[in-house]
Structure 1
Amino acid sequence: MAALVAPEAAAPQGPTEAGETTEAAELSRSLSRLLPGLEADSKLGRRRALEALQRVLEAAQPEAPDADPDAAAAAFQGPWVHLLLPRLLRRLTDPAEGCRALAVHLLGLGLRRAARPRDALPRLLPALAARLASPEPARRPPPEACEELRLALVQLLGLAVRLTGAAFAPHLDDAVRALRCTLLDPFAAVRRESCECAAGLARATPDHFHMQSESLIGPLMQSISHQHWKVRVAVIEATGAAIQFGSGKSVDDVLPHFAQRLFDDVPQVRQAVMRVVGGWLLSLRDRYSFFHKLIPLLLSGFHDEIPEIASEASSLWERVGLQWQTENEEDLKDKLDFASPPPAHHPSPGSRPGLGCRELVFRNLSKILPAVCHDIDDWVAGTRVKSAQLLAVLLLHAEDHVTQHLEPVLRALLRACADEEAAVVSSCTRSAELVGTFVSPEVFLKLILSTLRKSPSPSGLLVLASLIQGCPREALRPHVKVIATELAQAHICQGSENRLYGERLLQCVQAVVSAGREDCRGAGEPLLEVLVTVLALWGPAGLSDKVQETLAALAAVEGMDGSQDLFRARVSPLLEWLAASHRDWTGHSVELLQLDVVLSHSGPALGEALPQLVPILRSCLQPARDPAMRLKLFSTLTGVLLGAPETVDSQGQLHGYLDTLVQDIFVPNLQWHAGRTAAAIRTAAVSCLWALVSSGGLSDGQIQDMQETLMPQILTTLEEDSQMTRLISCQIINLFLKTSNGVIDPDKFIKIYPELLKRLDDVSDDVRLAATSALVTWLQRVQSEASKCCYQSSVRHLYRELLVYLDDPEHAVQDAVLEALKAGSVLFPDLLVKETEAVLHKHRSPTYCEQLLQHLQALPPAQ
């Protein structure tokens, strides 16, 4: 070293050393002429001196092809360390920004050219730290005010680390002190460069860095959420190196921040997390202690929205599993030698995770699951989505080992399946299917059915449906009837009026049918009861089509042609099921809606179920029962009776129950009682009676048997306030008269027409026309009587009354009355002529009277 400083005092050297000394002496002389300029008072003078030094140093680089780089570096070492370095370091505090920039550039140039860059570190590092570090980084600005210069200084620090390697270790304190400040620099480029420098420092000094690594974690974590995504990536990578070559104690401090970066909008940031975590799982010295904390982060990448990141996470995980398997080969010897095939119903046997991956998850599951189950309820939607996705991945790896953790898993699924986020629900249904695949149904049914018994909920039904969907058919077979029976219980199938509840209940039935297939034959009855309930409660809400599809599927697995056959085979048991509670029904009873579904879907099968149906109707339609229920039931019965030949009378057996219908149902409900409710019931009963007699399913004789009892009741309903009741009553009387064939007692028969005449004053033209039509039929019945002369006085009265309405303001009524008089004119034409002529001059318009007289004149003479 003395030869470099004072070559003239050195002892004689060999040719090579003499050459080196001469070159160093020449450089020293060149530098000595310029160095005084660095201390000039003027900024311009110092700048010119620095520029001149730059030219000298750049010109002094060996350019000849045969030049020896090592010899040139050795010759440069002495002048650099003793002459140039101290003066350049002083220029780092130069008032002129341009001078400081040139000094930094020359320092970098000197480090690259020197034979032993490490010799500069004792002076360089304190100077760099003095320019970059402030006592309180968060409050005070760094000594170097220029952003570009701070960047150049950090780059110089990084260069020193790269050039000196492990020799940098004694100067870690200064470097870390500087980096702690620059990692929080306002200039994003400085932060990025600082991250790269910190990572290089960790790799260069692994034996000593662990003593300083923890002091860098704080600043790094403060920068991990920086607004520039490149800074975030650099921080993640630097953190990876700092922990990899530093202290594993910092893992716990870092993981929450890494977990947050999994939600980063920039794919490169998420990818950086995957790579760093994967690297730790492969290479971290204490990785076995952190498996349960690191595995969830890596597995979370399996569902990344960028396929490349998901694929990379999967590849890294596979490497981790293989490495762990190799490291623990002795422990896994039996499982490796006698490897079990994938479960028969594994969802993806071709891509089943390797043994090492499965064992890693299984052995750490008890530590991972509590956190996942907790985060699945987090208030942040993104956290819930990630946790739900992670749970599915864990269950796929755990396979049947999840049995011992089943209770907390099901609790978490029950909560998560009620989430408003569709992605959470989707992942949790997938998890439930996996549980159904790997866990014995005897185990999971005990837990889930117990929960449903205590508090039925849409989420509980969805979990049950998913469990069933994932369960192998062979395992599910012994439990199909148990599930169906449980679902048919009133507290479950009627557990809520919420539409979502109905959807989930229907999903349960669909799952049983699709998973159990032909095994459902023994459970068809309770399954049909559930479908009837869903159709009753939620069919109008939009589930009707889905229920029909499920009915068709159930019919198919039972070997039937369609839902009609399904109801035909089970209509009697269904009615018996409903009859069990019919004495307690009210207008709000679900059973009323269920009965409506059974009656509307059974079709011709109802003709075979009259022994079960009629007693229910008779009991529920008694006047003492709930009025609202009777109204609904009459409405249902009306719909059935309108198509009686295709429904209740499909077997021609309805006539055997007519007495019951008339005496026990229609007569009590047609009796007059005060109040609007009673009037509404009479209207419903009249409508139901009309549906029965007009359906075409009854013969004239059967209607004749009914009319003797019902005619007095119907005549009273002509006075009802309800227009519909009066109209239908007129139609019923008309039908009764048409089918009477003279069997009505004359005293009763004579009392009919005055009641009909009153209806000609009705406020409704429809009722007036219907009453007129019934009077025509009455007149026709008189004509068929052998003793029609006995009715002459009644007919005269009827003629007179009808002639009054022949002058009605309504033309439709005039036309109808004219037709009625024409129809009745054959009875006593002379009498009608006389009565018509008597009122002709009283009418506003004689037109209709004249038409009637013309008709009477055209009649053939009476025999």
Structure 2
Amino acid sequence: MTTGNMSAMGSGDEHVAEVMRGLVRHLNCLNEDNKATRKRALEAIKKETIEKGLSGGVLQEVFSCLLKPLLKCMSDPMERCRETSILMLTDFIRCVPQPEDSLVYLMPCLTQRLGGKEIIEPAEELRLSIMELLSLTVEVCGKQLAPYLDDMIKILQVTIVDPCPDVKRESCKCTVLFAKSVPEHFHMQAESLVKPLMQSISHQHSRVRVSVLEATGAVVQHGTGKNVDDVLSHMAQRLFDNSPQVRKSVTIVVGDWLLNMRDRYSYFHKLIPLLLSSITDEVDEIRLLAEELWRKTGEQWERENEADIKDKMDFLLAPPPLYPAGVERPGLGCRELVVRNLGRLVPAVSHDVTDWLVPTRVKTSQLLRVLLLHAEDHCTQHMQPLLATLHVACGDSEREVVANCREAAKLLGFFVLPEVFLQLLLDHVEASGSSRSPWTPLMVLAAALEGSSGPLLGPHLQRLADTLARPDVCQESQQPLYLEQLVACVDALLTQLGRDCGTVSLQLLQVLLTVQSLSTEQVLSDMALGSVRRLCQVQGLAGVPELYRQHMAQLLGWLLASARDWSGCSPQRLQLQIIAEQSGPVLGEFVGQLMALLQVCLQPTTDPEMRLSIFTMLAKLLLDVGSNLDSQGCFGAAAEGFLCEVLLPNLVWQGGRTAGALRTAALSCLLALLHGGSLTPGQLLCVEQKLCSTLLGGLEESSPTARLFACRCLSLLLAKVGASLHPDALNKIYPELVKRLDDSSDQVRAVALKALGLWLSSLGEDYHPHLYGAHLEFLFQQLLLHLDDPDGSVQEQVLGVLKAGSRVHPALLERETQAAKDKQRSPAYCEQLLLHIHSLPRGGAVEPAQPADS
């Protein structure tokens, strides 16, 4: 040693001795009972040491002398004294060149203050200061703390669960520093910190949760790796945290594990889902961070396994022929990581997608889509569990879950050959009736069809259409979701195959007809009709009627096959109605087939409710018969058979309200038939006897509407063939009409009066007034009674009818009028009638008169 060094040491020792001589009195005061004295002593020591700016060597020696007194002051009853001593210790540790020399005394003291079963330091601020002192100690001492591993762990186990949030955060920071400082020793005790960390990972303060996640990352990273399972579920829960910073911390920690954990290959199947879940985070920063970490993970795996995947790196870099537009393809390493772990990932996804918490189900459905995007054609090996998962998830009550799963199913269409997914999917579609959500197989099928391509689907088109058109498929459920997915399947086929759908046009039309017939929502019916129009467009047809012209014969035959078994709940009756409404004039080209169908389904032995529905539909058609049934002028030839074989048998009286409603519907249909003019006078005369008998019976119906329809039918019959009827036939009609003059319905009375006017107008040369005078006398007497009706409008109508009848037998009417005149409340109408009779020319043949317009 040189003389200069010796002299320097000597001068340094002298300086230390000088400083210590100045501190003796203050050190003695630390033992005083007076709190203020101890406080002033500590402040004086600080002023004479830390604040003096002593050199490193001197400060080191002074610190060695002051360490024990300062540590003793950490137990001082006065909080201010404890605080000052802690701050002084912190300053000394920061400033001295060899802080590790103090560890032998410092660490036992800190362990006593913080590492016991009970909290010795009551002040939260001081516990925080002590933890800051410990963190600083770890920073400056580093590996020198290895002998104090047990003490550090004791302290951290307690402070991580400290009631004070700031203490928790500082403890987590200290944990990270310590793990990185002594990694070769830390792993032996790392496991003991997992439990306290997991107790604090859901703390109400987001900053605490972030710190706990960072500490957990370090503990697992530098531990034995056996604690991954203990923390994974807690980490996964933080993916749903409301704080973006917490979710970002999860992403960073998991990404670091995937890149740097020693035993990461054993945990890829558990860590990959956590990082991939962040790829779908709603915050762009987190999403981009997760994508970057995942890319690095894949690239690192490529480098580490280059020999195993050399062939794939050389030949399989091009994307598959079908790939989602606008989606960046993951790198080879990322894809391989998913493919090699997919067998373990799918069961976990299947489990979590049915979780009772909505956020979990949403996140899992997003993860499923990401996994399938990576797996590509390797999905084929896992189709059974994947489809089972999708079928369950597509029935979820949460719309976002369903949307994500539809996208996942669409990816199956991109990556899996149709012969594979159709073999499984169609079986599920056919067996969907036993499911609680029968629409889910159809939803998955529709999505897969959307993802596939026309050339690949072409060979399977016939089977697809036949399956969808099967009654146990397209008529399986009336639930709107089920019907909506049927339409979605048809739309997917139309989109993918276009004109090729012409070969299965009939089956697709049958499906869409069924949807319209079963739907109770107008929006869904309009959706199906829109698909019918698309079916026309892809075939180059001018419109919907052209499509029906192409298939009408098969459709009517399709309906005829089951017509005998139709009921009020059968969709076929509504299908017939839809065909009739949408085919328009084309219906007139197939009248023969339609009549054959009606004769079967409208027999009196079939379901009344079903017949009621069809008669109502036919009434609307017959009112405008020229634009539908008679568009080709062929309906007239079938009209008589329709009347005799279909309508009249359904007008035979039967008891019950349903039977009465059915007769009313049949009468409305008969009225429309007569009004439309399809029956010629000759045809009416051929069935006049049956028809009149039926209509006269209809006048006695309990329903006012039925009586009204019967009266109108008689009016039309008299207007068309009344003059050709035999007098005996005419004489059977008027008494029943006279009864209706006392009907409870004013409409029925008015129509009955009009019919009586037509009856009088129908009397021709064969009707001899003197021979049938008794009939006329009775009729005139009844009409004259109603000429005194309280209702003025009825009086006017009766007067018009009597004026029309005055031409038949004026003398008889004059006599009866004179006899009734004095009996009525007001003779005014009788006088008008007599004036009219007197104005008639006398003599000559009696000509039928036209009734007054009522």
- TM-score bracket for this pair, using the shorter chain length: over 0.9
The aligned counterpart of 1:845 is: 826
The equivalent residue for 2:395 is: 418
Q: Aligned to 1:202, which of 160, 179, 185? A: 179
- 2:735 and 2:767 map into 1 onto residues whose CA distance is 22
**Structure 1: stretches of 5+ with no match in the other structure:** 4-9, 63-71, 136-140
- Equivalents in 2 of 1:662, 1:36: separation in Å? 129
Q: Does 1:320 align with 2:297?
A: yes
Alignment of 1:819 onto 2:811: no
Distance 1:385 1:613 in 2: 52
Q: Does the alignment pair 1:80 with 2:57? A: no
Task: Name the aligned partner's letter for residue 812 of structure 1.
Answer: S
1:38 equivalent in structure 2:
30
Q: Alignment partner for residue 157 of structure 1, among 134, 149, 152?
A: 134
5 Å-filtered alignment, 1:20-31, equals 20-31=12-23
CA distance, structure 1, for counterparts of residue 654 and residue 668 of structure 2? 18
CA shift digits 1:542-562 (9 cap, x unpaired): 422111211111211121233
Alignment of 1:414-813 (within 5 A): 414-456=391-433, 457-540=438-521, 542-740=523-721, 742-783=723-764, 790-813=771-794
Q: Structure 2 vs 1, CA of residues 12 and 344 (structure 1 numbering), >3 Å: closer, same or farther?
A: closer
Q: Render the CA deviation track for 1:190-228: whole Å, top value 9, x for unaligned.
A: 000100011111111122111121111111111001111
8 Å contact from structure 1 (residues 395, 435) kept in 2:
yes
Q: CA deviation at 1:597?
A: 1.8
Q: Structure 1 residue 22: deviation in Å? A: 3.5
Correspondence 1:125 to 2:85: no
Instruction: Give, in whole Å, the separation in 1 of the partners of 2:712 and 2:625.
Output: 19
Amino acid at match of 1:712: S
1:17 partnered with 2:9: yes
Return the offset for 1:13.
Answer: 4.2
Q: 2-side partners of 1:539 and 1:176: how far apart?
A: 69
Q: 2:650, 2:666 within 8 Å by CA — same for their partners in 1? A: yes
**Which stretch has the larger CA shift, 397-406 or 492-501?**
492-501
1:34 is displaced (CA, Å) by: 2.5
C-alpha distance in structure 2 between counterparts of 1:624 and 1:209, whole Å: 90
Instruction: Measure how far apart 1:784 and its partner are.
Output: 6.5
Aligned partner (choices 134, 147, 163) of residue 170 of structure 1: 147
SS of equivalent to 2:519: helix
* 8 A Cα contact 1:645 1:697, kept in partner: no
User: Which deviates more, 695-704 or 831-840?
Assistant: 695-704
Structure 1 stretch displaced more, 31-40 or 211-220: 31-40
Asked if structure 1 preserves the Cα contact closer than 8 Å seen for 2:502 and 2:539, the reply is yes
CA deviation digits over 1:607-642, x for unaligned, max 9? 112222111211222222232332222222222222
String of CA shifts for 1:715-734, please: whole Å, max 9, x gaps.
22212222112111111111
**Pairwise mapping of residues 394-413 of structure 1 onto structure 2 (< 5 A)?**
394-413=371-390
| Among candidates 38, 55, 73, match of residue 91 of structure 1 | 73
Residues 322-349 of structure 1: CA deviation (Å, up to 9, x unaligned): 2212222222211222234212321146
Structure 1 residue 108 corresponds to structure 2 residue 112: no
Matched, 1:293 2:270: yes
- Compute the TM-score of the two structures, normalised by the length of structure 1: 0.94
Q: How far apart in 1 are the matches of 2:488 and 2:735? A: 62
Paired residue for 2:359, among 378, 382, 404?
A: 382
* Residue pair 2:592, 2:638 contacting (<8 A) in 1 also: no
Give secondary structure in 2 for the equivalent of 1:586.
coil
CA contact (8 A) 2:636 2:678 kept: no
1:354 equivalent in alignment to 2:331: yes
TM-superposed CA distance for 1:704, in Å, is 4.2
**Is the CA contact (8 Å cut-off) linking 1:655 and 1:702 kept in structure 2?**
no
* Cα deviation code 1:332-381 (max 9, x no counterpart): 21122223421232114651111111111111111111111111111111
Report what 1:253 is aligned to: 230
Distance 1:11 1:209 in 2: 46
Deviation of 1:427 (Å): 0.8
Q: Is 2:200 aligned against 1:217?
A: no
Q: What is the CA–CA distance in structure 2 between the aligned matches of 1:301 and 1:287, rounded to whole Å?
A: 19
Change (3 A) 1:243 1:679: closer
Q: 1:841 to 1:683 in 2, by over 3 A?
A: same
Deviations 1:19-48 (A, max 9, x none): 433433333333334322222222222111
Is 1:58 equivalent to 2:50 in the alignment? yes
Amino acid paired to 1:26:
E
Residue deviations 1:559-600, cap 9 Å, x none?
A: 123323222322221111111111222223222222222222
Secondary structure of 1:842's counterpart equals: coil
* Cα separation, partners in 2 of 1:12 and 1:754, compared to 1, 3 Å: closer
In the alignment, the residues of structure 2 paired with residue 323 and residue 653 of structure 1 have an alpha-carbon distance, to the nearest angstrom, of 81
What is the Cα deviation at residue 764 of structure 1?
A: 1.4
Indicate the larger mover: 361-370 or 448-457. 448-457
Count of paired positions: 840
Q: Which amino acid aligns with 2:714?
A: I
> What do residues 741-775 of structure 1 show as CA deviations (whole Å, max 9, x unaligned)?
63222321222212211211212111111111011
2:513–2:578: 8 Å Cα contact kept in structure 1? Answer: yes
Greater shift in the superposed pair: 413-422 or 24-33: 24-33
Pick the aligned partner of 1:146 from 123, 148, 158.
123
Deviation (angstroms), 1:796: 3.2
Q: Which amino acid aligns with 1:379?
A: W
- 1:334 aligned residue: 311
TM-aligned CA distance change 1:209 to 1:828, over 3 Å: same
Aligned to 1:277: 254
Amino acid at match of 1:105: L
- How many Å apart are 1:792 and its aligned residue? 4.2
Q: Which runs of 5+ in 2 are unaligned?
A: 845-854
Which amino acid in the other structure matches residue 108 of structure 1? T
Structure 1 residue 309: Cα displacement: 1.4
Structure 1 residue 848: deviation in Å? 1.1
Letter in 1 for 2:555: L
Give me the CA root mean square deviation. 2.0
Contact 1:281/1:320 (<8 A) preserved: yes
TM-score (norm 2): 0.95
> Residue 76 of structure 1 aligns to which amino acid in structure 2?
L
User: Which amino acid counterpart does residue 616 of structure 2 have in structure 1?
Assistant: S
1:249 is paired with a residue of what secondary structure? coil
- 2:41 alignment partner in structure 1: 49
- The equivalent of 2:852 in structure 1 is none
C-alpha distance in 1 between matches for 2:403 and 2:185: 49
Could you list the per-position Cα deviations for residues 830-860 of structure 1 after superposition, in whole angstroms to 9, with x for gaps in the alignment? 3322221121110011121122122223334
Q: 2:848 matched to which residue of 1?
A: none
Q: Tell me the CA shift for residue 698 of structure 1.
A: 4.1
Moved more, 742-751 or 191-200: 742-751
Q: Secondary structure at the match of 1:775?
A: helix
The partner residue of 2:212 within 209, 220, 235 is 235
Distance 2:826 2:767 in 1: 37
8 Å CA contact retained: 2:254, 2:275: yes
Cα distance in 2 for partners of 1:539, 1:220 equals 57
